[in-house]
Amino acid sequence: MQNITQIFGSGVPLLLDDIDTDRIIPARFLRCVTFDGLGDHAFEDDRLQDKSHPFDDARFRHGSVLIGGRNFGCGSSREHAPQALMRWGIKAIIAESFAEIFFGNCTTLGIPCVAASRPDLDRLAKAVEENPTRVITIDLLSKQVRSDEIVFGIEILESARSSLTTGNWDFLGQLLDGATSVKQTASQLPYMTGFKA
Amino acid sequence: MTDRRNLFNKVWDLHTVRSLAGGQTQLFIGLHLIHEVTSPQAFSILRDRGLTVQYPERTLATVDHIIPTDVQLRPFADGLAEEMMSAIEKNCRDFGIRLFNLDDKRQGVVHIVGPEQGLTQPGMTIACGDSHTSTHGAFGSIAFGIGTSQVADVLATQTLALSRPKVRRIEVTGTLRPGVYAKDVILHIIRKLGVQGGVGYAYEYAGKVFDRMSMEERMTVCNMSIEGGARCGYINPDQTTVDYVRGRPFAPKGTDFDRAATWWLSLASPKDAEFDDYVTFDGSAIEPTVTWGINPAQSVGVNETLPALATFTNDDQKGIRDAFEYMDLKELQPIRGLKINVAFIGSCTNGRISDLREAAAIAKGRHVATGVKALVVPGSQQVREQAISEGLDKIFEAAGFQWREAGCSMCLAMNPDKLQGREVCASSSNRNFKGRQGSPTGRTLLMSPAMVAAAAISGCVSDVRDLL
């Protein structure tokens, strides 16, 4: 797997709190057996009701760094949500905080989710509104976001940062490598042997 | 030195396989539950990589999310739903996984079926591609929702890569007043701690109120842990837990059961257990609670008014304004008396037999208000059979409720049961997100099943205590 140390791209400002995964991808689009085509439906119902939604704003159509608020990705565990964002073109998310399952799903897909303070997010979102083509760099090594004169620190769960930056974010391969130890652990669990004496 | 580890940490340690390169724990998963919506792509990952299912007997499949609750003839009218049914049937066949399909009396909502069959047991780690897997924590297990890539991880290795959360002990003291249910307790906790208060934490629910609860009530509480941001929540196993599991189809039998029970009880957090955080609430102060907004923390007691905008911080006011606007409500407006169009009783939160009994007690001898569409959707075929044997179906039908087949139904509206337009639904489910119940502009008021029944009868949000 590729080492993900830096992400560059222009921004998409969506500074709202408690964006749940039902809003990111409404449940009716989960009637599928692949993730293909989900990108077209990202935020579909929000976009229908808000004609100025950033996902419909031509200025942000090539954006790949999503700027969100608090508790981003809360609710349903559906991986369809990060899959939809990824297929729309999102490569990284900067928000005030993230819901845990969403964060884990993103990490598994190689999408860094980094947390920043509200004033820093406000400043960045405003700057992106003024100049949508400005390039944002998320640097996971120095734990910084840089965009011209704007520079601020970010937080990310250390295990996720380490996995992304060292190319260890495909967990399946690593888990498979532990097969012998798995058998050992399983054999110690009383329910695995039906609680026999 | 005595062992002061809480249950969460004991169970986590027992299931720890090793540390991974990034610092995550490789954690063994004792029970894996799958359903038709979040599993097809996981099986595709297995096929693409030429992998098999490592412990097929530790995974159980059922169908619930897309199941119609009226006409269940195959093929389904919805071609996409039919395709998903065919996919899970083929995947279970190809990989040797047990499936409780529609023609199996054990079929139902995955989080109702696991406990009902005795598959869910204390001391296990339990994962499912569904955020309400936290339900199973009611047994003193570590149970949490996962994404589809992680479903593939469990299928292929029976393990997951996870970071250990902190543990917060939430104590609820005292006695609940009549007309106050488990649903009100968890809505109250979420209201007070917020929808992201639990991020990074597992919740241990402890104290007199939970000690006295039945397993079904405990499941309602643990179910909504995720709505408070906590990926898992649990209650220590006690005699109530042991008595519930005894005799169920997949529970150990005879002396094996006795050994199991001893082990389960030994896992409970000791009196002097250590936690990362503590919170206490007074159970006697909890009111029948109703959500008014677009997340489950936006709630009030049934006799309160909606909060004033000025009581929120400047940052929060934007979200609150958005919620008022979407719901077409105003600050300081009473919630009581708010007209409803639809009433939904069901879901993994409140679709068990005790929920139907409580709702039926309110519905009995009364009638659903004119213009209100009311649905009762049992959580499993067994719950449905049990309700019928008690005559609850007749009570509901006589009161004007529709009596349906088992499934997730209007909790997330992936099947044909959906709100239309701006309809307002009194719902016993778990999420009041925008568009959650199938109409992009539909509105949801979360409450206990008894409160839903009361709202159905009066046609508006009411205090169930007036009907007890």
Task: Residue A16: give its domain's CATH number.
Answer: 3.20.19.10
Name the strand (E) or helix (H) holding B99: strand B98-100
Domain tally, chain B: 3
Could you tell me if B196 and B318 lie in one domain? no
Q: Which domain holds residue B104?
A: 7-162
pLDDT value for A93 = 98
Taking CB atoms within 8 Å and a gap of at least 24, the contacts of B99-103 are: B99/B61, B99/B62, B99/B63, B100/B60, B100/B61, B100/B62, B100/B63, B101/B62, B101/B63, B102/B63, B102/B67, B102/B72, B102/B74
The answer to whether the CB atoms of A97 and B41 lie below 8 A apart is no
Alpha carbon distance A48, B440 (integer Å): 9
Does the pLDDT value for residue B59 go beyond 90? yes
pLDDT value for A1 = 85
Burial B60-88 (b: 16+ CB within 10 A, else e): bbbbbbbbbbeeeeeebebebbebbbebb
Residues of B in contact with A28 (CB under 8 A): 413-414, 438
Could you tell me if B231 and B127 lie in one domain? no
Cβ of residue A58 closer than 8 Å to a chain B Cβ: no
Beta strands in B191-231 (DSSP E): 201-206
Could you tell me if B26 and B99 lie in one domain? yes
Do the domain assignments include residue B433? yes
Which of B104, B135, B162 is the endpoint of a domain? B162
Q: What is the pLDDT of residues B237-270, one digit of tens each?
A: 999 999 999 999 999 999 999 999 999 999 999 9
- Helices and strands (DSSP H and E) totals, chain B: 16, 19
Do the domain assignments include residue B366? yes
Could you tell me if B281 and B294 lie in one domain? no
Which of B285, B318, B345 is the endpoint of a domain? B285
Q: What is the pLDDT of residues A50-70, one digit of tens each?
A: 999 999 999 999 999 999 999
Instruction: Classify B318 as helix, strand or coil.
Output: helix
Cβ of residue B319 closer than 8 Å to a chain A Cβ: yes
Q: Which domain holds residue A119?
A: 6-193
Domain tally, chain A: 1
Q: Which of residues 82-111 of A touch B (CB under 8 A)?
A: 82, 97-101, 104-105, 108-109
Which of B127, B162, B197 is the endpoint of a domain? B162
Name the strand (E) or helix (H) holding A139: strand A135-139
| Tokens of residue B310, six digits | 């000025």
Cβ of residue B443 closer than 8 Å to a chain A Cβ: no
**Nearest-neighbour CA in chain B from A28: distance (Å):** 6
Beta bridge mates, B468: none
Do the domain assignments include residue B362? yes
Chain A nearest-CA residue for B250: A194
pLDDT value for B2 = 87
Do the domain assignments include residue B459? yes
Cβ of residue A183 closer than 8 Å to a chain B Cβ: no
Owner of token pair 């075929």: B381
Could you tell me if B204 and B295 lie in one domain? no
Question: Pairing mode, if any, of strands B16-19 and B25-28?
Answer: antiparallel
Could you tell me if B65 and B185 lie in one domain? no
What CATH number does residue B363 fall under?
3.30.499.10
Chain B nearest-CA residue for A196: B256
Residues of A in contact with B131 (CB under 8 A): 75-77, 101
Q: What is the pLDDT of residues B33-47, one digit of tens each?
A: 999 999 999 999 999
Average pLDDT over residues A15-44: 97
The answer to whether the CB atoms of A195 and B260 lie below 8 A apart is yes
Alpha carbon distance B259, B238 (integer Å): 14
Do the domain assignments include residue A1? no
- Helices and strands (DSSP H and E) totals, chain A: 8, 7
pLDDT grade, residue A197 (50/70/90)? confident
Could you tell me if B76 and B219 lie in one domain? no
pLDDT grade, residue B347 (50/70/90)? very high
Point out the residue among A71, A77, A185 whose CB comes nearest to the CB of B129.
Answer: A77
Q: Which of residues 122-141 of B touch A (CB under 8 A)?
A: 123-124, 129-131
Predicted structure pTM score: 0.98
What ipTM was predicted for this assembly?
0.98
Could you tell me if B342 and B271 lie in one domain? no
Q: How many CB pairs under 8 A join A and B?
A: 232
pLDDT over 90 for what percent of chain B?
99
Q: Which of residues 115-134 of A touch B (CB under 8 A)?
A: 118
Helices (H), B347-448: 347-350, 353-363, 381-389, 392-398
pLDDT value for B85 = 98
Instruction: Classify A115 as helix, strand or coil.
Output: strand
